[in-house]
């Protein structure tokens, strides 16, 4: 019954400069098959009937060109393009405020994760509708070591309990709003949105995603991104 009354919005966060890419242009605007990475990401949510609207949060200097992208690529679900804050968490807070009041469920997604699949997004949405808070994640493949400041290994966590967290992360809107308000009051900054919700004592569930849902962050990611895009295009061609 909850799913029948759910109205979903998405906050796409793309306000970072991304110094690890080593380019003058911010990573979200680098071209992937003649189209900015950010546009590929927005097109994923544009194509989903489940999504009512998108709030896009970018750097202040990029607001105008992103508004032009919205028009050029027909991204009519992007209802608001706004300047972000000094930290990602602040940008998410601004993105929530930019969504229509009628949106009661929300996902937060990285602008540089263009390869999230429709199936994975819906899995995250479904899990959130069951539990109020969910994140996409994949089991860690490698052995992980905890290391101290001198470079010495101090612990080896059980790999079976470790998951690499991705986006989107999905929440009842009122819950995420409460969590971010409390984090702001406490001057707490988390590395993802789930951390703010966890601080309220709320359990956040995991929906298993795909290893191909990469975050394009460094130059080494770009050739793999091109490979993934070509693979997806071949798959679509074989089905048509």
Return the domain boundaries, the chain: 2-231
pLDDT digit string, tens, across residues 175-213: 999 999 999 999 999 999 999 999 999 999 999 999 999
Contact 91, 85 (CB under 8 A): yes
Quote the DSSP letter at residue 229: H
CATH number for 2-231 (one of 3.40.50.10860, 3.90.550.10, 3.40.50.10800, 3.40.50.150): it is 3.90.550.10
CA distance 38 to 81: 13
Contact 49, 59 (CB under 8 A): no
- Residue partners of 121: CB distance under 8 A and separation at least 6: 44, 45, 48, 50, 107, 168
Query: Mean pLDDT across the chain, nearest whole number?
Result: 93
Token pair of 150 as six digits: 């001198």
> DSSP 3-state assignment of 182?
helix
Cα radius of gyration (the chain): 18
pLDDT digit string, tens, across residues 8-35: 999 999 997 655 555 667 899 999 988 9
């Amino acid at each position: 019954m909850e799913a029948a009354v759910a109205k979903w919005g998405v906050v796409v966060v793309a306000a970072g400069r991304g110094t690890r890419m080593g380019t003058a242009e911010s990573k979200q605007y680098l071209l992937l098959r003649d189209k900015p990475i950010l546009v590929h990401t927005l097109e994923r949510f544009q194509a989903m009937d489940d999504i009512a609207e998108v709030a896009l949060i970018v750097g202040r200097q990029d607001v105008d060109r992103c508004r032009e992208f919205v028009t050029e690529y027909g991204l009519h679900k992007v209802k608001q393009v706004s300047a972000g804050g000094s930290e990602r968490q602040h940008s998410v807070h601004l993105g929530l405020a930019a969504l229509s009041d009628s949106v009661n469920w929300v996902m937060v997604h990285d602008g540089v994760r263009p390869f999230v699949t429709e199936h994975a997004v819906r899995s995250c949405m479904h899990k959130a509708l069951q539990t109020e808070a969910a994140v996409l994640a994949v089991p860690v493949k490698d052995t992980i070591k905890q290391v101290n400041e001198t470079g010495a290994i101090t612990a080896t966590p059980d790999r079976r309990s470790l998951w690499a967290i991705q986006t989107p992360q999905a929440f009842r809107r009122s819950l995420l709003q409460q969590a971010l308000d409390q984090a702001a009051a406490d001057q707490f900054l988390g590395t993802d949105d789930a951390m703010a919700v966890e601080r309220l004592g709320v359990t956040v569930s995991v929906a298993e995603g795909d290893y191909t849902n990469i975050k394009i962050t460094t130059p080494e990611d770009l050739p793999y991104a091109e490979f993934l895009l070509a693979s997806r295009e071949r798959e679509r061609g074989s089905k048509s």
